[in-house]
Amino acid sequence: MKKILLPILFLLLLASCSKYQKILKSTDLNLKFEKAVAYYEKDDFNRALPLLEELSTAFRGSAKAEEVNYYYAYCHYSLGEHLMASYLFDTYAQTFPSGKHTEECQYMTAYCYYLESPIYKLDSKNTYKAINQLQLFTNLYPKSERVKECNNLIDELREKLAKKAFYNAKQYYITEYHKSAIIALKNVLVDFPGSKYEEEIYFLITEASFLLAKNSISTKKQERLENTIDAYQEFLEKYPESNFSKQAKNTEQKTLKLIKTIKQT
């Protein structure tokens, strides 16, 4: 049975390829558009794409240009080519500002960048682009039903940036660059207020302040120890029930002891 089926399948495949080649070579642009849409709707994007690519130039300025560009962008998107798709969605939105699919394409421009946003450890270029494009969409279409989704995606992307900033700042602490750690940690608080890392950040600022003071020259030690007490008080005020409270309290006691020693000398 298999010996019979294999030649039949081969002949069908050959016939299908031959039919597709005829469509590619055809000069009937309307036929090509019809077949491109048919391939697209069957999820045969690899066959739809070359036809749409040709038609995107051939139909430029015509009544069908809008639909060709729409399908062409979605073909790239469906094949996982998100950056190219984003460019094409944006091109559609700019070329047809009052088009049938303009709002959708403006959203997809941003969403494609969202899909290309890498893990927090890698380059954040596409993460920032996604945030900017999502924010642009909400500004252009404040009443759109997609605004809520855009805001959720922005929150997710900002959390990723906050995580990157926090772990970069924490690396200064781990490698004992305490002054740089304090500056970087404070910057995270400014740039990403309300992030889930705040509690640990305030604690690490206290710890880094103490270690910086402890290892400082005598002329700077007391001032930096007093800065540690200020950092501890701020931490305690914001997180009185913190899991870091016991360790932070211990740091405060060591700091007060050192301040007392300095004043007695």
pLDDT tens for the chain, 265 residues long, are: 444 444 444 434 444 557 888 888 887 888 889 999 999 999 999 999 999 999 999 988 888 999 999 999 999 999 999 999 999 999 999 999 999 999 999 999 999 999 999 888 788 999 999 999 999 999 999 999 999 999 999 999 999 999 999 999 999 999 999 999 999 999 999 999 999 999 999 999 999 999 999 988 888 989 999 999 999 999 999 999 999 999 999 999 999 999 888 887 7
**Residue pair 154/163 in contact by the 8 Å Cβ criterion:** no
Amino acid, single-letter form, for residue 4: I
- Residue 176 neighbours by CB distance under 10 Å: 12
Cα separation values, 35 from 60, 186, 201, Å: 18, 59, 58
Mind spelling out the 3-state secondary structure of 159-191? HHHHHHHHHHHHHHHHCCCHHHHHHHHHHHHHH
**Structure tokens that stand for 87 in this block:** 């460019």
Q: The pTM is what?
A: 0.82
CA atoms lying within 13 Å on the CB side of residue 70: 17
**Residue written as tokens 């309307």?**
30
> What local confidence, expressed as pLDDT, does residue 28 receive?
83
CA dist., res. 66 & res. 133, Å (int): 22
CB atoms within 10 A of CB 144: 16
